[in-house]
């Protein structure tokens, strides 16, 4: 294999991928997650460093998902374990909520945003910083979700509002008083909401494509893991039904869910690519890896069903957004540690 997607970005001086470059990458990764979901496995460490490019000179890019060292069967995961690299960690993991394979979709959404802009979306130094960036950009999860978090009380206060007990995220000052840690803003772009991503993506002729990509990323980063888009739904998203030769007319969002899929078993090339993407890493990792490949082999004959479909054009006009960009894109250093604050709920 050639190099990781992170190294590829670095080689490009952190210039983001265009939607044309990014579309096949997301397709391959969503397909890989679909296969893992079908056999009940969480990868738990999806990030640009763990996505290898087969040949950087090949178009479109062909990628492989690697490093199953943190993978878990969904049936055995419990709230509490520290998994996923900090910048790509789903909030339900940090808050010690029950979680499942939806955490991989969160990581894919963060990765897609990073690949499209060249910079990490939520590059915090600690869990508190990352949560603060998420909630400032996306709002906080509903109280019925927060109520189930074993560490919600570490990051939130319970306040009386209009006769109701509601969770309020602790201010940097309150958190510093509690822990001695003073929050830092390490973001390259301070987005007021995810719609503002369209303003920091690499410029393209067809702005419609970027609006659809942002819509897809928003669905990947839904704060409720039960509502978060599933891998197969990603493949049905209108972002994949529009090409550079398509009409630039606006396209509809997926409010009514993905369109019906028409299955064909004629195209096996993509199947073989995805098998190769997983196979080398799985057989080398033993343990979970061997079990995963055993399961994967059993469903090999059905894998083709994920690959040839007809999609209907749809329409979307992204709402107006705002952001506070940094004045330039300086070279950056990479923080890739799995880090969390000490302390209990």
For the question of residue 280 being annotated catalytic, the response is no
At residue 260, the pLDDT reads 34
In a 3-state reduction of DSSP, which class is residue 167?
Answer: strand
pTM of the model: 0.76
pLDDT tens digits, one per residue of 146-199: 999 999 999 999 998 787 889 999 999 999 999 999 999 999 999 999 999 999
In a domain, 342, yes or no: no
At residue 162, the pLDDT reads 80
Q: 273-277 — which CB contacts under 8 Å span 24+ positions?
A: 273/28, 273/62, 274/28, 274/31, 274/32, 274/35, 274/303, 275/300, 275/303, 276/64, 277/28, 277/32, 277/63, 277/64, 277/65
153 DSSP 8-state letter: H
- How far apart are the C-alpha atoms of 221 and 143, rounded to whole Å? 18
The CATH number linked to 279 is 1.10.510.10
pLDDT tens digits, one per residue of 60-69: 999 999 999 9
In a domain, 142, yes or no: yes
Average pLDDT on 51-64 reads 95
- How far apart are the C-alpha atoms of 286 and 288, rounded to whole Å? 6
At residue 207, the pLDDT reads 67
In a domain, 200, yes or no: yes
Average pLDDT on 6-26 reads 95
In a domain, 336, yes or no: no
pLDDT tens digits, one per residue of 287-338: 545 554 454 444 443 333 333 233 222 223 233 333 444 333 434 444 433 3
Domains held by the chain: number: 1
Average pLDDT on 102-117 reads 98
- Asked whether residue 102 carries a pLDDT value surpassing 60, the answer given is yes
Which domain covers residue 292, as residue numbers? 3-325
Return the C-alpha torsion angle 110, 112, 117, 120, nearest 10: 30
Q: Which of 45, 49, 129, 195 is catalytic?
A: 45
Of residues 202 and 272, more confidently modeled: 202
In a domain, 340, yes or no: no
Q: Which of the four pLDDT bands, split at 50, 70 and 90, describes residue 106?
A: very high
- Asked whether residue 42 carries a pLDDT value surpassing 50, the answer given is yes
CB atoms within 10 A of CB 140: 18
């Amino acid at each position: 294999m050639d190099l990781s997607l992170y190294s590829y970005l670095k080689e490009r001086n952190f210039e983001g991928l265009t939607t044309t470059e990014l579309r096949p990458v997301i397709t391959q990764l969503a397909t890989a997650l679909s296969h893992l979901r079908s056999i009940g496995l969480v990868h738990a460490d999806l990030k640009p460093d763990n996505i290898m490019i087969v040949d950087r000179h090949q178009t479109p890019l062909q990628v492989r998902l690697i490093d199953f060292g943190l993978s878990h069967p969904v049936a055995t995961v419990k709230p509490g374990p520290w998994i996923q690299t900090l910048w790509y960690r789903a909030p339900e993991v940090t808050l010690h909520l029950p979680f499942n394979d939806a955490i991989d979709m969160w990581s894919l959404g963060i990765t897609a945003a990073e690949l499209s802009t060249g910079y990490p979306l939520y590059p915090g130094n600690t869990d508190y910083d990352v949560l603060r960036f998420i909630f400032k950009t996306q709002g906080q999860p509903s109280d019925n979700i927060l109520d189930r978090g074993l560490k919600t009380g570490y990051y939130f206060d319970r306040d009386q509002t209009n006769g109701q007990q509601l969770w309020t995220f602790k201010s940097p000052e309150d958190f510093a008083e509690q822990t001695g840690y003073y929050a830092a803003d390490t973001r390259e772009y301070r987005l007021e909401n995810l719609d503002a991503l369209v303003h920091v993506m690499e410029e393209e002729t067809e702005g419609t494509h970027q609006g659809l990509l942002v819509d897809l990323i928003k669905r990947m980063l839904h704060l409720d893991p039960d509502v978060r888009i599933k891998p197969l739904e990603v493949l049905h998203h209108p972002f994949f039904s529009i090409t550079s030769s398509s009409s630039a007319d606006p396209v509809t969002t997926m409010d009514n869910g993905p369109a019906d899929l028409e299955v064909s078993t004629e195209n096996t090339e993509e199947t073989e690519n995805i098998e190769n993407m997983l196979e080398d890493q799985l057989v080398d990792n033993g343990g979970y890896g061997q079990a995963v490949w055993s399961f994967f082999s059993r469903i090999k004959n059905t894998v083709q069903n994920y690959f040839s479909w007809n999609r209907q054009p749809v329409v979307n006009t992204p709402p107006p957004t705002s952001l506070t960009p940094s004045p330039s894109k300086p070279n950056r250093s990479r923080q890739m540690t799995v880090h969390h604050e000490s302390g209990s709920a």
